[in-house]
Amino acid sequence: MLKTISTSQVKLGMHIHALKGPWVDHPFWKTKFVLQEATDLLKLQKSVVKEVVIDASKGVDVIVPTLKKSTPPTEQAISVADAQPSEKTAPIIKRISAQEECAQAVRTISASKKAVAAMFKDVRMGKAISTDRLAPLVEEIAASISRNENALISLARLKTKDDYTYMHSVAVCGLMVALSRQLNLTEVETKQAGLAGLLHDIGKAGIPNEVLNKPGALTEQEFDLVKLHPEQGYQILEGAKVTDEMVLDVCLHHHEKVDGSGYPEKLKDKEISLFAKMGAVCDVYDAVTSNRPYKDGWDPAVSLQRMAQWKSHFDQAVFKAFVKSLGIYPIGSAVKLKSGRLGVVIDQSPKSLLTPIVKVFFSTKAKSRIPVVIIDFSKSNLHDEIIGHEDPEVWGISNINEIWSQFEIWD
């Protein structure tokens, strides 16, 4: 279906059928293409072209916004600058501490996990699924992240091996919302991204639990079976009458890599949408930081360090924005101080990515626990500083998650 819209309404993922105006004024050498890159969107909006024709059957359709439309993720997404609150983002809500938000976050996570588990059960039983009940959950998750950007995300990481599949969907939803806010996307797009996170792995409902929860390495045949889940998920969502192109796209393409080595279609950088690139980063981060049937999760800060080295996997602008949404030392990261003390990050400071709030509890010099001290490293005149990540198990500390969190969210 062809539609003529103003340039200000154009968004990533749209199929441009024609550019209005003389061809010499066009910023592109071709006129029929899917708009995938933020740089191209910025180029279009800065051109003299006032209207374009889109083909809604081949790309994202125009959305009549209920909120004021504003600048899409162009320069902000490219430079990954700190996004400033504006009318296109969520209503400004007073930030509270992670500790204050935890109780509500636990309830939201629990309700979301139960909804995802019920949906997986319906798919396995051959029942028609409805995604209508997920929208209020996405609203609650987004509201939690507005109050504290990391509390829910960090708690959702603390999942049992048996609950991984369901809790992973909840965690990716939260990560997608936080990343959308960092990229300064509209609130409509942010909620779409959150819903995509909840539904991105629905195809795993068609994979036997003995394969999903296998404690050892998968055989080649088992891995081939698992790799079918994006296409199976896409088919399940289409069968459920899900028409949101972004949700369908993330489900199908969240395992694509920018070098073309991903699956199912081996898409390369510019062929992958912004939202699928976001889904890839969020999916991998939660996977590597979570305890799985075949391995224990990595420390959050270590995970970001290792992911930063996978240049061929992620879009680098999206990955940098992702790091900014979590902090250099995400909640739950074990850190060593210049004084020789150990601590665990319990919250982020809005002032800087490098100055989190840390619960200090151990002396490497005395090799023993010490009275707990809470240090906000964003404050001046401190006599200590973070010098880097530390493996707590080297010092016989195996309960680092219990030290920063007193909640169990999988009951």
Mean of pLDDT over the chain: 86
**Res. 74: pLDDT tops 70:** no
- Provide the 10 A C-beta neighbour count for residue 407: 15
DSSP string, 253-281: HTT--TBS--SSS--BGGGS-HHHHHHHH
Task: Give dist(CA 408, CA 411) in Å, integer.
Answer: 7
Least confident of 70-84, 152-166, 188-202, 222-236: 70-84
Is 80 exceeded by the pLDDT of residue 40? no
Query: pLDDT tens across 333-391, in order?
Result: 999 999 999 999 999 988 888 899 999 999 999 999 999 999 999 998 888 999 999 99
Whether the Cβ atoms of residue 238 and residue 248 lie closer than 8 Å to each other: yes
Cα of 25 vs its chain's centroid, Å: 37
Cα-Cα-Cα-Cα torsion 397, 400, 403, 405, nearest 10 degrees, comes to -160
Instruction: Specify the DSSP element, H or E, that contains 388.
Output: strand 386-389
Task: State which amino acid sits at residue 241.
Answer: K
Please give the pLDDT value at position 67.
31
pLDDT score, position 22: 55
- Tell me the pLDDT band of 10, cut-offs 50, 70 and 90: confident
- The CATH homologous superfamily of the domain defined by 98-326: Hypothetical protein af1432 (1.10.3210.10)
**Residue range 152-194, pLDDT digits in tens:** 999 999 987 778 889 999 999 999 999 999 999 999 999 999 9
Cβ contact 170:346 at 8 Å: no
What mean pLDDT comes out for the span 62-67? 46
- The residue ranking higher by pLDDT, 39 or 398, is 398
